[in-house]
């Protein structure tokens, strides 16, 4: 019986080889993990088991006119298209562009380039699409009527509304300047430049007050239009009977 018991406790001949193989595997695995850990500390990135750095999610600030370098960037940030197109790639015309009159049923007309992609008129104005910017977010002008305003803004007119317009919106923090002018059609208006939350002045706003309708305006914004295009449109504006 004792001989049978000894046979049951006998260590297989290949056990030592298996044990050595396991120990070697543990050592190799430890070296790989330590190497990955050391790389992680040096690179400052999270490292996957394979040793490749994990993709880092960075919360970079939204683009603004002051941070965009047109010489280095060739497309807008999808989070905010406006600064790129205003500064680097505004809507322009050339010598082949044809300008055509556009009549608004509210009682005024203006000239527009035929390359401007207008949307069907909205109840309070008209928009145009430009590259990724849809017309619904890109008004050329709007009808800013006193009946649609509230509080002190309801009774303001051309003498005080343009300089106070910005106070209705959280994205605007002040006004840089206002300028009264008369265009080539002998229509008087006011140009205003507002300061946004980035302390920048990206666009020009123009207000034309309806004759005999104090406090009712046709309100233009330059948006992504080049200054030359915007000024030509403003200079062509007139009220019609």
* Contact of 172 with 200, CB cutoff 8 Å: no
**Over 70: is that where the pLDDT of 4 sits?**
no
Alpha-carbon distances of 12 from 2, 6, 21, 36, 40, rounded to whole Å: 19, 12, 15, 37, 43
pLDDT at 187: 98
Tell me the CB-side half-sphere exposure of residue 114, using CA atoms within 13 A: 6
Nearest to 226 by CA among 116, 117, 87, 99: 87
Question: According to CATH, where is 3.40.1000 located in the chain?
Answer: 90-239
pTM for this structure?
Answer: 0.74
Which CATH architecture is the domain 90-239 placed in? 3-Layer(aba) Sandwich (3.40)
pLDDT at 87: 94
List, for residues 181-233, the tens digit of each pLDDT value.
Answer: 999 999 999 999 999 999 999 999 999 999 989 999 999 999 999 999 999 99
- CB 154: neighbour CB atoms within 10 A? 12
């Amino acid at each position: 019986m004792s001989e049978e018991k000894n046979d049951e406790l006998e260590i297989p001949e290949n056990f030592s080889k298996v044990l050595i193989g396991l120990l070697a595997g543990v050592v190799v695995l430890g070296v790989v993990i330590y190497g990955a850990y050391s790389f992680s500390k040096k690179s400052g990135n999270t490292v996957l088991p394979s040793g490749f750095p994990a993709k880092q999610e960075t919360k970079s600030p939204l683009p603004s006119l002051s941070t965009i370098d047109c010489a280095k960037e060739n497309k807008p940030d999808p989070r905010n298209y406006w600064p790129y197109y205003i500064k680097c790639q505004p809507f322009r015309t050339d010598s082949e562009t044809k300008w055509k009159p556009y009549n608004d049923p509210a009682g005024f007309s203006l000239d527009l380039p035929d390359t401007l992609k207008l949307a069907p008129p909205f109840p309070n104005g008209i928009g145009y699409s430009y590259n990724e910017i849809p017309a619904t977010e890109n008004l050329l002008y709007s009808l800013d009527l006193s009946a649609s305003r509230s509080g002190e803004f309801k009774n303001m007119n051309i003498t005080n509304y343009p300089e106070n317009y910005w106070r209705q919106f959280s994205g605007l923090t002040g006004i840089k300047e206002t300028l009264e002018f008369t265009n080539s059609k002998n229509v008087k208006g006011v140009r205003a430049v507002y300061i946004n939350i980035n302390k920048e002045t990206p666009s020009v706003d123009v207000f034309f007050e309806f004759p005999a309708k104090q406090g009712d305006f046709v309100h233009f914004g330059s948006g992504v239009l080049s200054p030359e295009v915007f000024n030509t449109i403003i200079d062509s504006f007139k009220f019609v009977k």
